Every structure is written in C-alpha cells, then in structure tokens.
Structure 1
Amino acid sequence: MAGGRLVELAKSRGLLRGSIPDGGKRPVIVVNDRELRDKRAEALAALQAINDPPFLFVRGAVLTRFRTTETGAPMLEIVTEPALRGHLADAADWRRERTDARGNVRYEIVSPPRDVVEDILSQAELPFPPIRGIVEAPVFGKTGRLVTEPGYNPDAWLWYHKAPGLEVPAVPEKPSRDDVERAKALLLEDLMGDFPFVDEASRAHALCALLLPFVREMIDGPTPLHLIDKPAPGSGGSLLADAITIPATGRPAHVMTESRDEEEWRKRITSALIDAPTFVMIDNIRRRLDSSALAAALTASIWTDRTLGRNRMVLLPVRVVWLGTGNNVAASNEIARRTCWIRLDPKVDQPWRRTGFRHPDLRGWAQANRGQLIWAALVLVQAWIAAGRPQGGQTLGNFEAWARTMGGILDVIGVPGFLGNLDQFYAQADEEMAEWRAFVHRWWDAFGPVPVRVEQLWQLAVDHELIPAVLGDKGERSQRIRLGKALARMRERIIGDFRIAPMPRDGHLNQAVYCLQKVEAGERAGTDDDADAFDDDEAGDDVEVF
C-alpha cells in the first residue's frame, strides 16, 4: 500500500491529526494507537509487494526464504524473528506518531515492532507462494512436465537454481533406442563402470539413486535409504556417492553423521531437512544402524518436530534422497526393511591402491560433463514417460510408489536386477533377527511350551549370552526393562517355527508372562524376515516426532 493511500485510510479511521511524511517508494506504516490486525495486514501487503520475484515462501506451513550459502549452494531456511524484522524494514517505512504539548504531530522513525513480527510468524496461513524444495537441474514435475526455467516454478512448487554455464542438451519427447543406449552408456559405463558392484541389483540400485532426484516429484510417497555397503575402506563407497549426487546437484551430498541416541538422531534429521537438500547422506556408518527416528523419517511424507532452541513446531516435507555409506553395515529389522542395498567388493587386499580406471579423476570428469549426465538421466526417465509410465512388478513395503516407478523405469530401459538382493541383505545386515532366532530356540529347549516370566527369560539370555543388542550394556534392572519392552513388541510374532504368545499376567507377582507356540509351515510363510519387529504406530507414515 502506497504512503498516500495509507494516509487516506488512516485519516478515514481517525488515526491521524496531521500530515505523515511520504515514504517514497515504500509504504509508511504507523505503529502506535492502531489495531494489531491492521498493522499485520499492511505489513503483509508490503512484504507481498517486494516479493516479486519471490524469495519468501511457505513450506510446511512455515515462512521460509531462499538464499545461497557462501559456497554458492542454494538452500531454504526458516525465517526467524530477526530475519523477518529485516525484511519488514526493507518493505516499509515504520513510524511512531508523537504529539507535543502544543498539539503538533510529528513522526519518529522506528523499527518494525516485535508484536507485528511475532503475529505474522504465528499465522496459520500466509499470502506467499508454496514451495516443496530446490532443484539444481531440470527435473520432471508431478505431472511429468519438465521444469527447465530457472527460478520459482509455480506449477511444480520448485525453485530451479541453475548453475552458471550449465548447458543441458535438448531431451527428445520420444527418445529413440539409440538415445536410451547412449544415455545408459554415459551413466552405467563412463560414470559408474569402474565400481565393483557385486551383482546386477547393486548396479541397478545405484542407477536408481542417481535417477531419483529427476523423478522424485512424480513419486507420491517415501523413498528408502540407498545404502552403499562394502567390506573395507577404500572400496569406492564415498566416490560412488559423489558420482550419484553430482549430476543432480553438482557437488557431494549433505552429510549427516550417525548418532548415539534417539534425541540426537531427531535433532540431526530436523536440521538436515530444514535446509531442503536434494540428498542427505549418513556417512561412514560404524555402529549398528538402529533408530526409530530415522525409521520414521524414511517412511514419512511430513517430518514434524520442534525447531532447535525454540518451542515452535515445524512440518517439513520429506523429499530428499537418502544415502548411506559404511563397511559391512549391520542394521535393525526396521531399518533393514527400509533399505535399498548397493554392495561393492573390489576383492583385493588394499582396494585404495587400485589403478587403471577409465577416469582417474572421476569427480572432475563428472563435473566437466555434468550437462551430458543430466541429459542422460532425463532421457531415461522420458523414455519411461513416452512408453506410458508402465509400473514395475517389484514391491517394497512402505515404498510401493517408489518401487513401481523405479522398477518401471528400469524395465523400460532394460536394466535388470531391481530389488533382487533383498533376501541377501536381510540375512547379512539384520543381526537383530538372527539374535532373536537363537534366543527363541534356546527358550524352547529350556522351557518348551510352558509359560515363563520375563525374569526367567532374562536369566536365560544372560546365562547364554543371547540377544545382547536387545539387553544393552547397562545394569540388570535396565536389561530386564528392555527385554520386557522388546517382548511386548514381539507379541504374536512368528520367528522360525515358533510364535511368541502373551499369557495372562502372573496374579501373584503381577509380571508379564509369555510362552512359545509351535506353528505350521503355512503359518510361517512371509512372517519372519520380512515382518516388522516394531509396532506400526512407532515408525509409520507421517509420524509426528516431538
């Protein structure tokens, strides 16, 4: 609202008794003796006026702004009170009306008041464009339309931050077989041809991780953790991660280290998602990967948490591509079944000393040829779109939309192996279920079908050094509590030939009681390795973590 119109409005409401200085190009907002709602309305109107082209957005019901870091990387960040006060100062001239003893009115220059700032940030709805994230290469929007124009795309709700000098060749609407084969050669041979994938599935999954940012908006649902696993350092895991991320972003992934406890996992996940990166990588995993917070984030469409250092809740869209690297990574059952396995094995004693690579400086080559690599990724996705977007036949629980889309793309372009190594990964990575199987067999040998208390099962586990991951390394009381909670989660669960069945509580001691029941072969089908050891409400879709 211009300064003259503000004067007219103010006078019509009886707010002014004299003249107000003209704010020039900025509107003038008087802060005293006025309703908060009026000041808020004029402040928002002033912000809208300067938000063209847009830099203020709404993401997950939170006021967000676009900016670049000192390295030139784009990011989204939550608008804090100091930041909003600065934007309000840029958008309008703020004045306080003063009347002296003679009745003369004058106007003092003031800063945007705190009550206006807090009121705007507390609004459930704000008049700014919505945004889902930032992309740094042309990508396919939700409808399958290619986003190529730099800046904010109101149809896709994406900001395309184009790197200076990046040129991507035109993508044909109906790629030919030669186009597809050339694109496959660029990605699978030139870029990833020297990585020692142990099977077709690992190679296919690496390609899936690379293609995912370009098709992410077409997948309505979560995507799994792409785990780059290897037997020893120097096998190429970090280099493969960079090869996967450079086409989409031009640089390595946003790194998040593993955490020791759930609270720290939650904080790091929130911190990573606030910036809206394309990739989030859990690098150099050393401990057993076991986190309910991480499991929830992997299967959530929206991540809900309090911002660090404040009580304000934020709702963050989860659109990142999850990556992980480590040596012989062990994972809990809930993480293992949320994982897409990429296994490397150079089969040499000192893998870091290998030579004879196609591109000795692979990162430099990928950077120099990024436009061609982007073209190749887009051609492969466009070939699937031109074929009518056929759905793949493979599936992965909680990630059905991802599996149908990525499986369909790989089927169309002729890359085999998608989700072909799940059983092998579960058997290798899921130490938790291996421990439970050993425990259950010892339980049957010791007690058969007789009901037993948690205390007796704890003693059995301690005597035979069983289920150490469940019991933990603290005192006896802590271990009994942990075992009791674990058994409650495992109730009615079939493990091998047995079902863990809860029984009526011990009336005298009021303790939980369980027994093992033998099951028939038909009951066992599909209920052991592929089942979840945790209740669905602990790590399901759209879990709110507080």
Structure 2
Amino acid sequence: MPGVVEIVDTETAIPDPTAEIKAEAHAARDRTRDAVRAEGEAVREAWIEDRVGKLVPDNADDDTRDAARATVRRAVENSTLSGNFTVQVIEGNEPRAVTVVEVLDDPSRYDGMLTLDPLEPDYDGGRVVGKLYTAGARPNLFSFAHGGRTFRLMRQPARIEIVKGRTYDIVQGTLETLRRAPEAFDFGGALVTVDRGRVHPLDDAGLIHFLGGVVQYWRWNSARRAEPSGTLEDPPPRVAKQILSLGAGRHLKTLSAVVTVPTLRPDGTVFDTPGYDEATGLLFEATEDVVPVPAAPDRAEVVEALETLLHPFREFPVVAPDDWGVLLAALLTAVVRPALLTAPGFGFDAPVQGSGKTLLANCVGVLASGQAPAVWPHTAGKDDEEVRKRLFAALRQGCRALVWDNVVGTFNSAAMSAALTSSNFTDRILGKSESISVPNKAILLMTGNNLTLAGDMARRVLTCRIDPGTDHPFAREFDLDPLVHTRKHRQEMAAAGLTIVRGWMTADAERAPGRMASFEKWDDIVRQAVAWVGREIRPGEFGDPMNAVFTAQSGDPEQETLDKDPAGVLLQFTLTKGEFLCQARGVVAVMTASRTSFGFLFMEVPFG
C-alpha cells in the first residue's frame, strides 16, 4: 500500500486522567445531576399543587389541603390512588370523573372498565390507556402510558391517635382497619396479605410496612408551640408485635386458598365470581376473562371438555387405561383441590430418564396454580424432618402445587403421609419457639424412575406410568409443547375439568364400588367422575383410580414380606421381647412397623 501508516500508542498519546481531573469530572456530573433533580422536583411539586387545586375548593382550610396534597403525593411517588383522588372512566365513549372511594364502593360495576391515565388524563391526546381491576383482593388500575404502570386503589388511610397508656385501644383500632382491608387475612395462625394470586406471610417488619399504607398514626405535639398540633408517626413496633401474637384472636377474614381460575365449592357448586367467598374462605383473583361452566352438562359437552382437558397430553406415552385414569384424576384434582379437605398425591413413573415425568408433573402444577410449581429434589438418605420442613415452608406460603422430583429407590415418609391426609399442617416457625397451623390446599406430585412406594404412601399416592419405548426418549420431537399450552389455555382447561365433574354430579349415574378411606370427599367428586367417564363416556379408555392403589400395595416390598411369612413377624416379636407379659401396645407397635396387610388388622386397635 502506498504511503506510510503511523502506528500510535494510544496509551501514551491519551494518558489516564489524573486524580484532579477525575475529581472535577465527578463534581461536574454531580452538579448536573443535582440541577436536573431540582428541576424535576420543582415540576413535580407544581403538578401536585395544580392537582390539589382541582381536588379541593379555593376556600379549603390548611388541613384539607394537606390531606389532598398527601393523596396526590401517594399517587405520584407510591403509585397509590386513594380516597377522593379522581379517575376518568369511560362510559358511553365519554370520560366521567369518579373518585377512588366510589370505585371501591361498587367493585362489580367498575371491574374491567376502561380509563384515561390517572396522572396524565391528556396523555397522547386523551387516549384510553387504562383499565380497572376491582374484583380481587388488591384492586388496581393499570395504565399503558409511559411504558406501563400499576396503581393500587385504596381508601383513605385510617387515622389512629397514639396516646400514652392506651396501647390496647390502638391495637383494637388497627385490627378494625385490618378487618376492612381487602388484602389482609388470617391464614391459619398466620397473618398474610395477598398480591397477584400469591400469599405473603407477614413478620414484624412486614406488618409494620403494610400498616404504613393503610393507617396514618399521629399524636398531639404541644412542645414549644402556642397551640398543640398533630404530628405524624410511623406504625409503632409494639402494636405490630401484639397483633401478630394474637393469632386467631385477630378475627380477620379467614383465608383457605387463593385461586386464579374458577373452582368447586364443597357443596358442588361452581365458584366463578371474582372476590372473596366468606362461606368457604376462598379468594378468587381473576387475571383473565372467566370461561363459563354449564351447571348440568350434557354428554356432548362432557366429551368436548374431555378433549380440551387432555389435548396437551395426547402425545405422552401413557401405558394403560389405569394410568390414563390416574392422569385424568390428577388434572381434575388440580382444578377442584380447594374444595377438598384432603386429596391423594400423584406419582409419575417411567422406566428411563428423560421420559417426560417432570414435564407432566409441572403441567398439572401449572393447571392448579397458574405458576411454575415448587420443585424439590428428593431427600434420599436424609431424615424425615427435612421433608416436614419443606412441606411446612411451602404450605405456609399458600403453595397450591408441590413437585417432589426424582425419587430414588423405595420411598416412604411419615411427614408426607400425614400431609396427604391432613386439612391443616402444623409445625414450628424456623428460628422461633412457636408453632402455627396453616391450611393445606396443595396437590402433591412426585416423579421417579421405577417409582416404588412403601407403607402408607402406597395407599395415599396414585401412580401413572409412562413408557416411551426407547432408550433415548430425550431425542423425541413433538408438535406441541404441553407446558406452554397449559399456561396459555389454563382457563379453558379448568372450565373443562369443572364441566366433567359437573357432568358426573348431575348425571344420576351409579357409583363405582368402594370408597377411598381418608379421601372420602375426593372419592365422591374426582374418583367417581373418572370411573364414570371410563364406563359411560369413553368406555375402556380410563380405569378406576382405585386400581392404582391395589397395584401399588401389591408392589410394596414391606407388605410382600409379611404376606409371605406373617408368622415370621410374630417370631421376630418373640425373639425381641422374650417370654414376658407386656401391654397390647407393644404387639401393635411390632405388627404395624412395616405397615403390612397383616399389620393393618391392628391399625385401628384402641389401647391406653
């Protein structure tokens, strides 16, 4: 190439800045930032004063103006619209000003109504950019303006005076406010709030933070003033501690579960109205349009519902009709679990890894909760206490689905067995000496290769086996992603599940023989519906879920030992205890140690 190319050492030509240059650059940056911040704050304060002028009359006193100013400031700084803050709703294609109090007083009227942006009604020429969601526990307005923003709707914070020596009255006044708060509940012994379908247990700090948004504490301050004046105060920590210590004595709204799709009430009726149902303790937080469920479906509607519910699972290599029956039972249980005191668990079993067990369990979990279920690895070789701690941690947060993944070997767990047959689960709070009881509305799912259940687990977990028939199942290709489909069509699938259950309940058909102990209500609603589908809707395609119990117990290695040699257990007792008199308690302990069929004779023996 012609010419000379000069090579420049940029490190030498452009030396690093000295400490003085760096300091000056930082100072210039800070000056610019402060100037911009000051300008922004001035614009914001001017806007706040302008909005205050629109909220109160010109002759309003200082206290009224201060209250209005606090309302507007909460909207700007905390995305909270409260009290007499006005929102422009669209009625008859025209905007109409309503206050937040009016909206909260008539949530069914305003739910789903479109609005202008609450802070900038003239945004983009007055374009409709907002929508009200008032049916749930946390009413809000979402605006698409400026990238999207969610505004919480709440009443004007209650004012409670702090008076020395009157802590009892302060606590009682705070409790009255909590009882009116739409998102505060007693969840067993825990005080919780609900936000976007999730349960959030509150500790001391969490309750203080929450109270700061619903109560304005204040006290009279006469120091160095000619006249006493009110001084705002933060929530007193002692008040939060006392409220948390009251437990059930708080008498807040009782929460049993949060659902985001329609479900069944214990009486068999469909719960599809967003909001809180006092009779059942269920809270329906609707995030999508609700799909209607026929009260008395005919055969054609049940057939269509069956296809809708099972569509994403048709490519799974489910082995036999009994396994299809268990899968259908798992899907129906996911939909109606809030109506049931107890429900069996469901295991997904395969001969090789990569068969799709965890995917199948996750789909059932998403149908139940709308979220990815909590997945816990199997605690092989660990004490059963770890199982108990995990279960309590999940249930305390209102977990609706729990996946116990990759179970290895023979599995038995006293803690898990107890959880499956308990409507409430009690344990000690980590780091504290106190215990609380929380509702159990979760569906328990587990996966494993050649899953073998022992003891009580064999009766309390129904197993669905899938077999891809290849040594390389992970290399298979499918036209449909079942997890994506379940998330996208969850409303339709939940409605389909309820249609099947309502079809059985209104069909006046014969019941399948027998009834599963410990799961009687589940048997009435789910097992009988599956057995009915297998008899009358799709004959031969779905087995009775009860068959899975017989299969599991026949494969229980502990039961097999005694079935072959019941006298051997008695001999073991003789060799262990020797020839001396003992209480019947000792005999029962030995005979039930392995939970065998022979030992089951002693399971209900009363003794003192």
Fold match by TM threshold 0.5: yes
8 Å Cα contact 1:392/1:403 also seen in 2? no
| Secondary structure of the corresponding residue to residue 217 of structure 2 | strand
Is 1:140 aligned to 2:271, yes or no? no
Instruction: Give the one of 33, 44, 53 matched to 2:164.
Output: 33
Change in CA separation of 1:493 and 1:267 when aligned onto 2, cut-off 3 Å: closer
The match for 2:72 is: none
Does residue 1:490 correspond to 2:590, yes or no?
A: yes
Q: More deviation in 275-284 or 93-102?
A: 93-102
Question: Aligned pair in 2 of structure 1 residues 136, 30: CA closer, same or farther (>3 Å)?
Answer: closer
Q: Which of 400, 425, 430 is equivalent to 2:552?
A: 425
Counterpart in 2 of 1:157? 281
1:528 is aligned to 598
Question: Which one of the candidate residues 186, 200, 203 is aligned to 1:80?
Answer: 203
CA distance in 1, matches of 2:394, 2:463: 22
| Cα offset, 1:228, TM superposition | 0.9
- Describe the shift of the 1:247–1:492 C-alpha distance in structure 2 as closer, same or farther (beyond 3 A): closer
Could you list the per-position Cα deviations for residues 150-169 of structure 1 after superposition, in whole angstroms to 9, with x for gaps in the alignment? 333334322223334x552x
Per the alignment, residue 353 of structure 2 pairs with 233
Q: Return the alpha-carbon distance in structure 2 between the equivalents of residues 99 and 110 of structure 1.
A: 15
Counterpart contact for 1:384–1:390, Cα < 8 Å: no
Number of the residue aligned with 1:400: 520
Q: Is residue 392–residue 404 contact of structure 1 (8 Å, CA) maintained in 2?
A: no
Higher Cα radius of gyration = 2
Q: What is the Cα deviation at residue 532 of structure 1?
A: 8.1
Question: What amino acid is aligned across from residue 267 of structure 2 in structure 1?
Answer: T
Structure 1 residues 28 and 193, CA, compared in 2 at 3 Å: closer, same or farther? Answer: closer
Contact 1:333 1:532 in 2 (8 A): no
Question: 2:263·2:270 contact (CA, 8 Å) conserved in 1?
Answer: yes
Report what 1:56 is aligned to: 184
Distance in 2 (CA, whole Å) between partners of 1:160 and 1:212 is: 17
Q: Is the 8 A contact 1:391 1:407 kept in 2?
A: no
Find the counterpart in structure 1 of residue 52 from structure 2: none
Indicate how the Cα distance of structure 1 residues 329 and 367 shifts in structure 2: closer, same or farther if over 3 A, else same.
same
Distance in structure 1 (CA, Å) of the matches to 2:198 and 2:602 = 37
Aligned to 1:410: 530
- 8 Å CA contact 2:257–2:338 kept in 1: the answer is no
> Per-residue deviation at 1:206?
0.7
Normalising by structure 2, we get a TM-score of 0.65
Residue of structure 2 equivalent to 1:18? none
Q: Quick one: structure 1 residues 392 and 62, their matched pair in 2 at CA, closer, same or farther if it must change by over 3 Å?
A: farther
1:348 is matched with 470
Match of 1:370 in 2: 490
Q: CA RMSD in A?
A: 3.4
CA distance in 2, matches of 1:489, 1:280: 32
More helix by share: 2
2:251 aligned with 1:130, yes or no?
no
**Is 1:383–1:412's contact at 8 Å kept on the other side of the alignment?**
no
Equivalences for residues 103-502 of structure 1 within 5 A: 105=228, 107-123=230-246, 124-164=248-288, 166=289, 168=291, 170-188=292-310, 190-219=311-340, 221-259=341-379, 260-355=382-477, 357=478, 359-388=479-508, 391-413=511-533, 414=536, 415-428=542-555, 430-435=556-561, 451-453=574-576, 489-491=589-591
Q: Are residues 55 and 286 of structure 1, via their aligned partners in 2, closer, same or farther at CA, if it must alter by over 3 Å?
A: same
8 Å Cα contact 1:440-1:495 kept in structure 2:
no
Q: Is the 8 A contact 2:334 2:364 kept in 1?
A: no
- Tell me, in whole angstroms, the C-alpha distance in 1 between the residues paired with 2:285 and 2:446: 25
Q: Return the alpha-carbon distance in structure 2 between the equivalents of residues 237 and 270 of structure 1.
A: 24
SS of residue matched to 2:410:
coil
| Structure 2 Cα separation of the partners of residues 262 and 389 of structure 1 | 43
CA 1:251/1:28 → structure 2, altered by over 3 Å: closer, same or farther?
A: closer
**Corresponding pairs, count:** 441
Deviation string 1:169-204 (CA, Å, 9 cap, x unpaired) is x3222222111112222334x222222222211111
Provide the rounded CA distance (Å) in 2 between the counterparts of 1:143 and 1:335: 29
Q: Tell me, in whole angstroms, the C-alpha distance in 2 between the residues paired with 1:532 and 1:265.
A: 28
Does the Cα contact within 8 Å between 1:61 and 1:125 map onto a contact in 2? Answer: no
2:592–2:602 Cα contact (<8 Å) kept = no
Structure 1 stretch displaced more, 261-270 or 29-38: 29-38
CA distance in 2, matches of 1:29, 1:84: 16
Shift of 1:412: 3.4
Contact 1:94 1:109 survives alignment (8 Å): yes
2:177 matches 1:42: no
* CA deviation profile, 1:277-331 (whole Å, cap 9, x unmatched): 2212211112532221111111111111122222332211111111111111233
Shift of 1:436: 5.3
With 119-128 and 232-241 compared, the bigger mean Cα shift is at: 119-128
Query: Are the structure 2 counterparts of residues 200 and 394 from structure 1 closer, same or farther at C-alpha, using a change threshold of 3 Å?
Result: farther
Structure 2: which amino acid aligns with 1:239?
Answer: L
Larger CA deviation: 313-322 vs 251-260:
251-260
Q: What is the TM-score with the length of structure 1 in the denominator?
A: 0.72
Q: Report the Cα offset of residue 391 of structure 1.
A: 4.6
**8 A contact 1:225–1:339 mirrored in 2:** yes
Q: Which region of structure 1 is more displaced relative to structure 2, 318-327 or 190-199?
A: 190-199
Structure 2 Cα separation of the partners of residues 67 and 486 of structure 1: 51
| Greater relative CO, 1 or 2 (CA 8 Å, sep 6+) | 1
Q: Deviations over 1:101-142 (max 9, x none)?
A: 899645544322222111211223224222110112111222
Q: Structure 1 residue 80: deviation in Å?
A: 1.4
CA 1:215 to 1:37, structure 2 compared with 1: closer, same or farther past 3 Å?
Answer: same
Q: Which amino acid aligns with 1:33?
A: K
Distance 1:245 1:442 in 2: 43
Amino acid at match of 1:59: F
Q: Distance in 1 between matches of 2:414 and 2:194?
A: 31
SS in 2 for 1:420: helix
Deviation at 1:378?
Answer: 2.0
CA offsets, 1:418-475, max 9 Å, x none?
22232322232x223345567867678xx79x9423599xxxxxxxxxxxxxxxxxxx
SS of 1:281 mapped into structure 2: strand
2:489 maps to amino acid: N
Matched, 1:67 2:137: no
Distance of 2:554 and 2:174 partners within structure 1:
59
Query: Is residue 334–residue 534 contact of structure 1 (8 Å, CA) maintained in 2?
Result: no
CA distance in 2: counterparts of 1:186 and 1:438, whole angstroms? 46
Deviation for aligned residue 1:267: 1.1
